[in-house]
Amino acid sequence: DDADIHCGLLVLGSGPGGYTAAFRAADLGLDVVMVERYPQIGGVCLNVGCIPSKALLHAAQVIDEAKDFARHGIHFGTPRIDLPALAAYKDGVVGKLTGGLRHLAGQRKVRVVQGVGRFTSPHTLTVAVDGGEQRIRFEQAIIAVGSRPVHLPGFPWEDPRVMDSTGALTLQDIPDRLLVVGGGIIGLEMACVYDALGSKVTVCELSKDLMPGADRDLVKPLEKRLKDRYENIFTGTRVARAQAVDEGIRVWFEGGKAPEQDTFDRVLVAVGRLPNGGRIDAEAAGIQVDEHGFIKVDRQMRTNVEHIFAVGDVVGGPMLAHKATHEAKVAAEAAAGKKSHFDARAIPSVAYTHPEVAWMGLTETKAKAEGIEYTKAVFPWAASGRALSVGGEAGMTKLLLDDQQRVIGAGIVGPNAGELIAEALLALEMGADVEDLGLTVHPHPTLSETLCFAAEVAHGSITDIL
């Protein structure tokens, strides 16, 4: 055996899927090696995804709220933005978390190897490190190599004024006019940040609506706010081509109400992500990868190769950190010989825009498309004292119910929607009905009461029928 390193479990990738799997497996007594190409562990989520974007969205919220409060008699004036200091704040948040992960890995004796890993057989992987390479022999493996942003062809990617989400998060400057290509969650979150910092934002979305997949009534309050603030929102429109010119990035639009062409100071392309399964020589280990780069797994997160598992963005489904971490625990436990399997009934989606939009379980969009029966109960936040006092009067809480009045879906739009949706998730996982929600004493005055009120709306309609 000519391997440099031997281990019980190899984890490839150190994002939320990778580090969660590594830590859980180590806690269960496995001898773990985690391989990561970058010096920083934590993957997309910690370094260039969830965490830095939320740090900047918080800054944006402070600016937005300060501005909005002029209506109520408090004038802060125009904010003076020290961009390097703002970037340092964001990097500080990220650094604390990635540093914490290092510490947790050390505590658990998880060995971290830096370099690009590729399979060479069902039990071996080589890691390319600075010209040399290290060979690792493993008994079992968990693949958590994540995904990368789609780089649309026809854009001058070599020009720094064309950015993906990673580029946008570095905050090189505040462009006067920014075009965001892609009106999904990531595109709209970054649009929110740059709008607050002072850019004139245009959003271009191929579908006929912003945030495709979410129910229209949930997106409406967000759309209304963005329409008032942004230079333009073009839906049903695609960017056919883009070219770098001295004045900026010139783009040619097709469809919708967009002009034929326009020139922007920067362009952010946020049109989706591609899995990295095709870049690890999976075939050398006999692992099946589909034509897009997704790895197929069963409910224990096992690939077609019995002793190799895969989790996170690379296995498909919603590309979300909380999905990756839950799958990772299942894979680690299965690798340790437990009978765990993934059976979450719902995976929540949250757009941390202003206002936030959150949903889980069944959506009306899906129910209508698939002919699933449901009833709904809606509580408009204009009737909530707390919502009115925090500027959330455009918000709404919606419950979708089955014929037993059990919660099978929920949608919330308004400040803190992402926090509030968790209660609906618990209701769904526990099989709670509207009476359970309505009879639970919620603190007053809070936004959480809107779930209780929506449940009472539904419950009231039952007594009407009775």
Q: What are the catalytic residues?
A: 444
From the DSSP assignment, how many helices (H) and strands (E) are in the chain? 13, 22
CA distances from 242 to 136, 165, 208, 452, 465 (A): 44, 18, 22, 49, 59
Stretch that binds ligand FAD, among 7-15, 174-182, 283-291, 395-403 (CB under 6 A): 7-15
Contact string (CB under 6 A) for ligand FAD, positions 322-351, x = contact: x-x---------------------------
Binding of ligand FAD at residue 117 (CB under 6 A)?
yes
Chain center to CA of 107: 29
Structure tokens at 84: 């390097």
Phi, psi dihedrals of residue 372, rounded to the nearest 5°:
-85, 130
Using DSSP's 3-state secondary structure scheme, residue 55 falls into helix
Please give the Cα distance from 129 to 250 (Å, whole number): 40
Q: Is 18 in the site for ligand FAD (CB under 6 A)?
A: yes
User: Is residue 289 involved in binding ligand FAD (CB under 6 A)?
Assistant: no
Among 25, 26, 30, 53, binds ligand FAD (CB under 6 A): 53
Q: Which residues contact 2 (CB under 8 A, 6 or more apart)?
A: 135
- Judged by CB under 6 A, the stretch of 74-82, 254-262, 293-301, 308-316 that binds ligand FAD is 308-316
Is position 45 an interface residue for ligand FAD (rule: CB under 6 A)? yes
Among 276, 340, 384, 450, binds ligand FAD (CB under 6 A): 276
If one asks whether residue 145 binds ligand FAD (CB under 6 A), the answer comes out as yes
For position 303 contacting ligand FAD by CB under 6 A, the verdict is no
DSSP 304: S
Examine residue 146 and tell whether it contacts ligand FAD (CB under 6 A).
yes
Report the site for ligand FAD in 352-411 (rule: CB under 6 A).
352
Query: Considering the rule CB under 6 A, would residue 181 count as an interface residue with ligand FAD?
Result: no
Q: How far is the CB of 126 from ligand FAD (least distance, A)?
A: 10
Compare residues 35 and 458 and give the one whose CB is closer to ligand FAD: 35
Which one, 340 or 384, has the nearer CB to ligand FAD? 340
11: left (phi over 0), alpha (psi -120 to 50) or beta: beta
Please tell me the number of Cα atoms within 13 Å of 118 on its side-chain side. Answer: 10
For residue 200 the two structure tokens come to 């004139």
Based on its alpha-carbon atoms, the radius of gyration of the chain, rounded to whole angstroms, reads 24
Q: Is 135 helix (H, G, I), strand (E, B) or coil?
A: strand
51-85 b/e (C-beta count within 10 Å ≥ 16 → b): bbbebbbebbbebbeeeeeeeeeeeeeeeeeeeee
Using the contact rule CB under 6 A, the part of the chain among 233-241, 293-301, 313-321, 453-461 near ligand FAD is: 313-321
Comparing CA positions, the residue from 415, 409, 414 lying closest to residue 458 is 409
Within 198-257, which residues bind ligand FAD (CB under 6 A)?
none
Does residue 221 contact residue 231 with C-beta atoms inside 8 Å? no
Contact 335, 140 (CB under 8 A): yes
Give the shortest CB-43-to-ligand FAD separation in angstroms. 3
Please select the residue that binds ligand FAD; options are 124, 126, 147, 405, rule is CB under 6 A: 147
Instruction: State in angstroms the smallest separation of the CB of 166 from ligand FAD.
Output: 7
Taking the least distance from each CB to ligand FAD, the nearer of 26 and 145 is: 145
Contact residues: ligand FAD, CB under 6 A:
12-18, 35-38, 43-45, 49-50, 53, 116-117, 144-147, 165, 186, 276, 280, 312-314, 319-322, 324, 352
